[in-house]
Amino acid sequence: MSDMPQAIYNWIWLALLVAITVLRKIHERRSGDHSRLAGTPVVEGVLMALWGIAAGVLPLFYVFGPWLELANLPFDWPPILGALGVVLFLAALWLLHRSHADLGRSWSPTVEPRATSRLVTVGVYRRIRHPMYSAHVVWGLAQALLLPNLLAGPLALAIMLAVLALRIPREERFMLEEFGEEYRDYMRTTGRLLPRYAKDGGREP
């Protein structure tokens, strides 16, 4: 990819990062829950800290200076991949918004739901159990396509996948304990990160 298109994609990445960060903060404020991830397993907490660095700090070093040049991909990056990255980042932005909006005040920054939580199975949750995590995976894919650098691009996606491999099974065990057969039925008609369409048409909202 020539310097000029890559420079454009760098700025697009930065604008979308700001947008997705602001969106998350808005929904956190609306949820009324500002608690932190108390009780998060140490390994998961470390991975989340590394993800924050890979998703935000390292790309800034790539965009604004030569410090990560040694990790640049050793071939020209087709501009079409950058364009696809823009589309995926916009999709991640939309999915993150819908995930928060459909969950409403049931959202919690911890694995454990709030005391007043109910099982949400409408909107994007009708087909996907963890659309918020899906949004982060799509975000990682978008960044990998927008920034052709091993540290600034795909590293964040790799770390997020490791986080989800630990967090999703733990979260689903807790949800089964909390909601029992209701959640078990919900699992039968939904996918973890990708939409699942049951043969019988799935659950009604």
What distance in Å separates the CA atoms of residue 26 and residue 14, rounded to the nearest whole number?
A: 18
CA-based end-to-end distance of the chain: 46
CB atoms within 10 A of CB 63: 19
Instruction: State the pTM of this model.
Output: 0.88
Domain-wise residue ranges, the chain: 3-32+43-188
Query: In this predicted model, which residue has the larger pLDDT, 77 or 66?
Result: 66
Please write the tens of the pLDDT for every residue from 120-162.
Answer: 999 999 999 999 999 999 999 999 999 999 999 999 999 999 9
Q: DSSP letter at 116?
A: T
Q: What is the DSSP letter of 131?
A: H
Phi, psi of 26 (to 5 degrees): -60, -45
Confidence band for 28, pLDDT divided at 50, 70 and 90: confident
Q: Which is higher by pLDDT, 188 or 34?
A: 188
Domain 3-32+43-188 has CATH 1.10.357.140: no
SS3 content of the chain, % helix, strand, coil (to 5): 65, 0, 30
Q: Give pLDDT tens digits for 81-131.
A: 999 999 999 999 999 999 999 987 666 665 555 554 689 999 999 999 999
Residue pair 61/118 in contact by the 8 Å Cβ criterion: no
Three-class secondary structure assignment of 42-101: HHHHHHHHHHHHHHHHHHHHHHHCCCCHHHECCCCCCHHHHHHHHHHHHHHHHHHHHHHH
DSSP summary character for residue 110 = S
Structure tokens at 162: 């490791």
